[in-house]
Amino acid sequence: MTQTFRPHVVIVGAGFGGLSAARALAHAPVEVTVIDKRNHHLFQPLLYQVATAALSPADIAGPIRAILAGQKNARVLLDRVTGVDVANRTVSLANAGPLAYDWLIVATGARHSYFGKDHWGAHAPGIKTIDDATAVRHKVLLALERAETETDPERRKALLTFVLIGAGPTGVEMAGAIAELAHRSVSRDFRSITPHCSRVVLIGSEPRVLAAFPEDLSAAAQRAIEALGVEVRLGSKVTHVAYDHVEIGEDIIPTHTAIWAAGVMASPAAEWLAAPCDRAGRAVVDSDLTVPGCERVFVIGDTAACVGPDRRPLPGIAPVAKQQGRYAAQAILARIAGREPQPFAYRHYGNLATIGRKRAVIDFGRVHLTGWLAWVLWSVAHVFFLVGFRNRLAVGWNLVWNYLTFARHARLITGEVEASAPEDRRLAA
């Protein structure tokens, strides 16, 4: 009996875009291989809640194999892609060697960008992965623990100062969550830390917070975050980050907890494909999300430089990646059937950002929402889009519990607790 040929679709990356593409091919006459260097899909919009001890990592992540277990035409490889040979249609894997494809979807996401100051990353970590979030949680909680017993007033003040660099959604959400953690959640459990001991500073280079939102929502977000006790410094550029301080020009802020939320850089996919890229390293794609001159390679999500109807770059948010993933799958099926797909058209449903436990801002276009109602809608949306019933139940319950009690149940300092840094290290740049 002759076996029917089934085209092989390789998807690199199991984030929002890659997973959406894989699921859209569930009943298609193709073979799907999903490759990721981690074994789990991560709901990145709630990573900051892991970093601030409101959620555990397992609440916002799920094994890729379990998510795709019911999809008979899909297999999952835990491996790292090191390159792509477009001419021979192969993907180079670190462990398994070359893997042939008929169609390729690259959805490898983005990483932190320190704008040429990569050494700042050792002192100001960002949050893109579970490892990042747990490292930030370790840093924040350890600073509080050490402040409890610190007798030097200046060092104690630095330990209780938290600096967020970047006033976009991640920076604003982190600042609000840390303010609630430091001012309300932990002050009841410590004996020498009171709600007025801690200082949270949000630094942004733009003239307003949430610069991508309309001005009225941006102003509302700033009022809300300042009501939580956050010090907002806008139009300011960080000029140096060290172990024990952050510099803004001549101004020095002593701190042992700086967190980066100021910029991202795309994965090296554009280099693999020898494709043109923008300043953030994102591969420039055609209207059908393919690399120019190569109709069998799609680039989506944070890896792609794609413009919307207004000719402005599409934002690096989950809805963009998910819609692009579904489109790439449909475009592949159309071309297999001998049809030419329509250009990709992004449907924007709104922007959301939360500020603390009962404040949020939502941009629905003509409709703008703020305050408690916006927070409820933000919570419902984020719970709904989580993968898996268990995750939805866990996160939903924790959001309700945290709202009622201010409790942070995931306040675990994991890993080895290093000794306090010696004086010469603390003062080193």
Cβ of 394: how many Cβ atoms within 10 Å?
Answer: 18
What interhelical angle do 169-180 and 215-227 show, nearest 10? 20
Strand segments, DSSP code E, in 136-262 are 161-165, 199-204, 230-234, 240-241, 245-248, 251-254, 257-260
- What is the DSSP code (8-state) at residue 271? H
Distance CA 210, CA 188 (A): 32
Write out the two tokens for 340.
């030419």
Q: Is the dihedral of CA 39, 332, 317, 118 positive or negative?
A: positive
Residue 319: closest CA among 375, 385, 264 = 385
Distance CA 163, CA 187 (A): 19
The H or E element containing residue 157 is helix 153-159
The yes-or-no answer on residue 173 being catalytic is yes
Residue 307: closest CA among 273, 266, 343, 271 = 343
Marked catalytic residue, from 150, 154, 173, 340: 173
Buried b (16+ CB within 10 A) or exposed e, 67-81: bbeebebbebbebeb
Q: Are 35 and 79 in contact (CB under 8 A)?
A: yes
- Residues recognised as catalytic: 173
